[in-house]
């Protein structure tokens, strides 16, 4: 059908259509798929954008991490009742081929080989075929491994001359792969390969054919194939099946005008909106979405805080503030408030202390806001304190990275990277008290005798148990000889025993495994056997990655004097993901240079607050702080607050 032909054919009507977007990003037995959540969010926003398709808010359903088949199919049944023109269903997650050689859509608890733990595509097919009497067209989009198995599953409808395509029922299936290929979800990418390309087309249209006012599903499919054909290395080619001419109906607007656009922060949001409005079913294999359990209608406006950071509902992002970058609050009596690398709560309401690294030896006392953690309004109200040697002299070089406020509130412990060292300071005048705490020889960089540490990724984190009887000091990077696999690192955590404000002696040394491309940046002691660990990574073009893990030290091996090379995984502590900051809602934050995800920043510090009352009762407040590296034009001195669920 030519452009002239489509001009006389009615467009798929978004006002009379409905779409259901399903994403599974978190799994108990299968690898997590962190990019799936952004797939669904950005696609929902795109499909709801009047400049792209324009499906109303009450006709779009977002289904993140459905735990049971009923949680997945329930929203589809409701959408079918509402749709009169087209029903569009999108799935992104793991696709499994079970013993019956049938495509199964994975759920969070699915296990390969246990077909009863996932949803057979035939069940979804039957549900959509039952809808033939109430909707004219059904569109399915699958972004998952082996999704090509769905092609042909929607057969059984009489093929009729194209001139009658508007009056009859039909279907369109678009898949990310063939029936024997795996889908592609690049590590640290915002979206999966297939959905990312689809979002680009929805947002940018077909610039090579600007005379077209609309694009059809078949035209979108051809653009996808062309996009994948030039990729290096080659990726699986998308597949499509058109029944009764649905693929030739005018669908979305081509090259939507910016004036018509609702702000769309990412490709995932754009695609989510487009699919919801068209009523197309997208199926995705090998992908998953990390959002709250259950399903919900998703509004087209940008999401505000609070918002869940993953399907397990372990963390909720309450607020984010860049206020310390604003004129009038970014300095105090001429001292710049920047390069904050550690944060600790004083125990007096929402007051906290932060340490500056590299650019000076300042300690800032600040308040996080009267309504923190629900609403952040950070402000420095006191003259910053400078840290001095025991003799009252300036340190020639000092790189403060970790911070502990001791129980009497009069002294602090600060770990610094350049030494490295752990020193005690009196808050009243900033002077060092006594000698630094003893450190293992291997924590020092060469040429110090026995030193095996990296001078630039050294002693980064410090925390104390609530009773002050245990300290934990963490290295950011591995020691010489402690080799991990494929960019993952094995780093050391040194524990101490003693009394707050008094002496500490070294105790057990632990081995901690970081994720690929990540380093250990901060620790929080929940008690003497449980920690929270903050991992951070950065890659040019992909931005920062920030993850917080729960760490269990109970029964862990003392690795003092041992090498943590490959083959000794049993020497490492156990960890479990609490949340990935990239899975939290981005809101309307300003995107900084080098951060494709506007939520992400150079997070270095973390502080655990008291139990929260009200809506998030039973959770603890958790605060994060980002170091701007004295580059306020490109990085932010940002503070985050979250409500986290701990055992």
Residue, of 585 and 466, whose pLDDT is higher: 466
pLDDT recorded at residue 530: 97
Residues 340 and 192 in one domain: no
Using an 8 Å Cβ cutoff, are 120 and 150 in contact? no
Query: What is the H or E stretch that residue 86 is in?
Result: strand 86-92
d(CA 550, CA 523): 10
User: Does residue 239 share a domain with residue 139?
Assistant: yes
Return all residues near 57 (Cβ < 8 A) that are at least 6 apart. Answer: 48, 297, 298, 299, 300
Q: For the ranges 177-191, 301-315, 483-497, which has the lowest average pLDDT? A: 301-315
Indicate whether 287 and 320 sit together in one domain.
no
DSSP 223-264: HHHHHHHT-SS--PPPEEEEETTGGGSEEEESS--GGGPPP-
Q: How far apart are the first and last CA of the chain?
A: 60
Q: Please answer whether residues 107 and 117 qualify as being in contact, where contact means their C-beta atoms are separated by less than 8 angstroms.
A: yes
For residue 541, the model assigns a pLDDT of: 67
Q: How far apart are CA 634 and CA 637, in angstroms?
A: 10
Token output for 135: 């909707």
| CATH number of the domain bearing residue 190 | 3.40.50.1460
Averaged pLDDT for residues 627-635: 82
pTM of the model: 0.57
Close Cβ partners of 548 (under 8 Å, ≥ 6 residues apart): 315, 532, 533, 534, 535, 577, 578, 579, 581, 606, 622, 644
Residues 243 and 373 in one domain: no
pLDDT score, position 413: 97
Residue 361 tokens read as 């030896």
Per the DSSP assignment, residues forming a β-bridge with 307 are 317
Q: Is 427 found in the same domain as 321?
A: yes
Give 130-145 pLDDT, tens digit per residue. Answer: 776 678 889 999 999 9
Q: In terms of domains, do 75 and 137 share one?
A: yes
CA distance 250 to 8: 10
Q: Which residues pair with 497 in a beta bridge?
A: 470, 505
> Hey, is 387 helix, strand or coil?
coil
The mean pLDDT value of the chain amounts to: 83
Average pLDDT on 585-614 reads 87
The domain containing residue 584 runs over which residues?
315-644
Nearest to 457 by CA among 410, 395, 401: 401
Question: Do residue 601 and residue 477 come from a single domain?
Answer: yes
Backbone φ, ψ for residue 95 (5° rounding): -105, 135
**Most confident segment among 4-18, 249-263, 468-482:** 468-482
Handedness of CA 67, 72, 77, 83 (dihedral sign): positive
**Do the beta carbons of residue 160 and residue 168 sit within 8 Å?**
yes
Please indicate, yes or no, if residue 160 is contained in any of the structural domains: no
Task: Name which residue leads in pLDDT, 565 or 464.
Answer: 464
Q: How far apart are CA 6 and CA 55, in angstroms?
A: 21
Our count of domains for the chain comes to 2
Given 301, 324, 356, which residue is the final one in a domain? 301
Q: What CA–CA distance (Å, rounded) separates 622 from 473?
A: 19
Please tell me whether residues 294 and 401 are part of one structural domain.
no
What's the pLDDT tens digit per position in 383-432? 899 999 999 999 888 888 999 999 889 999 999 988 899 999 999 999 99
Residue 323 maps to which CATH number? 2.115.10
Q: What is the 3-state secondary structure (H, E, C) of 582-647?
A: HHCCCCCCCCCCCCCCCCCCCEEEEEEEEECCHHHCCCEEEEEEECCCCCCCCCCCCEEEEEECCC
Residue 100 forms part of a structural domain: yes
What per-residue string of b and e applies to 395-422 under the rule 16 or more CB within 10 Å gives b?
A: beebbbbbbbbbbeeebbbbbbbbbbbb
Is 567 part of any domain?
yes
Give the pLDDT score at 410: 94
Q: Distance (Å, rounded) from C-alpha 137 to C-alpha 88?
A: 8
Q: Are residues 435 and 550 in the same domain?
A: yes
Looking at the structure, tell me whether residues 228 and 371 fall in a common domain.
no
Q: Return the structure tokens found at 55.
A: 């499906």
Answer yes or no: do 364 and 238 share one domain. Answer: no
Q: Is residue 110 domain-shared with residue 44, that is, in the same domain?
A: yes
Token pair listed for 288: 């998953």
In a domain, 163, yes or no: no
**Last residue within a domain, chosen from 237, 272, 301:** 301
In a domain, 322, yes or no: yes
Average pLDDT over residues 569-583: 93
For residue 149, count CB atoms less than 10 angstroms from its CB and return exposed for 0-12, middle for 13-18, buried for 19 or more: buried
Let me know if residue 231 belongs to a domain: yes
Task: Please write the tens of the pLDDT for every residue from 350-379.
Answer: 999 999 887 668 899 999 999 999 999 999
CA-CA distance, 165 to 174, in Å (whole number)?
Answer: 19
SS3 527: coil
Domain annotation covers residue 309: no
Instruction: State how far the Cα of 87 lies from the Cα of 225, in Å rounded to an integer.
Output: 24
Residue 162 belongs to some domain of the structure:
no
Cα 432 from Cα 426, distance rounded (Å): 6
At 333-342, the pLDDT tens digits run 878 888 899 9
Tell me phi and psi for residue 456, to 5 degrees: -100, -15
Kindly state the tokens that stand for 120: 């057979």
pLDDT at residue 163 greater than cutoff 80: no
Domain boundary among 301, 336, 366: 301
Q: Note the maximum CA span of the chain.
A: 93
């Amino acid at each position: 059908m030519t452009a002239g032909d489509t001009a006389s054919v009615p467009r798929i009507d978004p006002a009379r259509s409905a779409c259901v977007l399903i994403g599974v990003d978190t799994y108990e037995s299968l690898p997590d798929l962190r990019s799936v959540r952004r797939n669904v969010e950005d696609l929902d926003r795109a499909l709801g954008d009047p400049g792209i398709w324009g499906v109303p808010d009450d006709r779009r359903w977002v289904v993140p991490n459905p735990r049971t088949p009923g949680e997945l199919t329930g929203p589809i049944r409701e959408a079918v009742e509402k749709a009169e023109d087209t029903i569009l269903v999108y799935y992104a997650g793991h696709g499994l081929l079970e013993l019956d050689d049938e495509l199964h859509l994975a759920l969070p608890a699915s296990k390969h080989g246990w077909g009863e733990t996932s949803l057979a595509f035939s069940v979804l097919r039957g549900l959509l075929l039952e809808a033939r009497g109430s909707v004219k067209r059904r569109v399915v989009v699958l972004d998952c491994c082996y999704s090509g198995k769905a092609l042909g599953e929607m057969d059984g409808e009489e093929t009729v001359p194209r001139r009658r395509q508007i009056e009859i029922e039909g279907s369109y299936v678009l898949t990310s792969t063939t029936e024997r290929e795996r889908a592609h979800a690049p590590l640290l990418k915002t979206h999966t390969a297939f959905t990312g390309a689809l979002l680009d087309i929805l947002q940018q249209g077909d610039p090579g054919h600007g005379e077209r006012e609309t694009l059809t599903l078949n035209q979108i499919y051809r653009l996808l194939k062309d996009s994948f054909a030039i990729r290096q290395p080659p990726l699986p080619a998308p597949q499509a099946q058109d029944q009764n001419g649905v693929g030739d109906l005018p669908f979305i607007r081509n090259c939507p005008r910016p004036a018509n656009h609702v702000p769309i922060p990412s490709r995932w949001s754009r695609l989510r909106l487009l699919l919801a409005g068209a009523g197309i079913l997208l199926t995705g294999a090998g992908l998953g979405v990390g959002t709250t359990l259950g399903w919900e209608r998703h509004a087209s406006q940008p999401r505000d805080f609070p918002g869940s950071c993953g399907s397990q509902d372990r963390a909720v992002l309450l607020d984010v503030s860049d206020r310390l970058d604003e004129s009038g609050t970014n300095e105090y009596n001429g001292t710049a408030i920047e390069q904050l690398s550690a944060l600790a709560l004083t125990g007096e309401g929402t007051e906290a202390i932060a340490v500056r690294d590299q650019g000076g030896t300042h300690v800032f006392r600040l308040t996080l806001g009267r309504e923190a953690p629900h609403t952040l309004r950070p402000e420095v109200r006191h003259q910053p304190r400078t840290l001095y040697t025991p003799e009252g002299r300036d340190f020639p070089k000092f790189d403060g990275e970790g911070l502990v406020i001791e129980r009497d509130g009069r002294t602090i412990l600060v770990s610094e990277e350049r030494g490295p060292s752990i020193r005690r300071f009196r808050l009243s005048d900033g002077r060092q008290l006594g000698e630094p705490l003893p450190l293992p020889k291997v924590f020092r960089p060469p040429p110090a005798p026995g030193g095996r540490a990296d001078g630039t990724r050294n002693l980064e984190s410090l925390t104390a148990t609530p009773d002050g009887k245990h300290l934990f000091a963490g290295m950011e990077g591995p020691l010489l000889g402690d080799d991990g696999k494929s960019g993952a690192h094995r780093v050391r955590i040194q524990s101490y025993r003693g009394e707050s404000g008094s002496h500490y002696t070294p105790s057990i040394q632990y081995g901690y495994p970081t994720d690929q491309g990540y380093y250990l940046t901060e620790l929080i002691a929940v008690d003497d056997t449980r920690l929270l660990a903050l991992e951070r990574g950065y890659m040019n073009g992909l931005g920062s990655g920030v993850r917080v893990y729960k760490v269990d030290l109970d029964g862990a091996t003392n690795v003092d004097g041992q090498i943590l090379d490959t083959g000794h995984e049993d020497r490492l502590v156990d960890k479990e993901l609490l949340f990935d900051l990239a899975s939290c809602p981005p809101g309307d934050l300003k995107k900084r240079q080098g951060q494709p995800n506007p939520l992400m920043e150079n997070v270095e510090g973390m502080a655990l607050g008291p139990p929260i009352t009200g809506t998030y009762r039973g959770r603890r407040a958790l605060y994060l702080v980002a170091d701007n590296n004295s580059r306020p034009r490109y990085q932010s001195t940002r503070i985050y607050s979250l409500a986290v669920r701990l055992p």
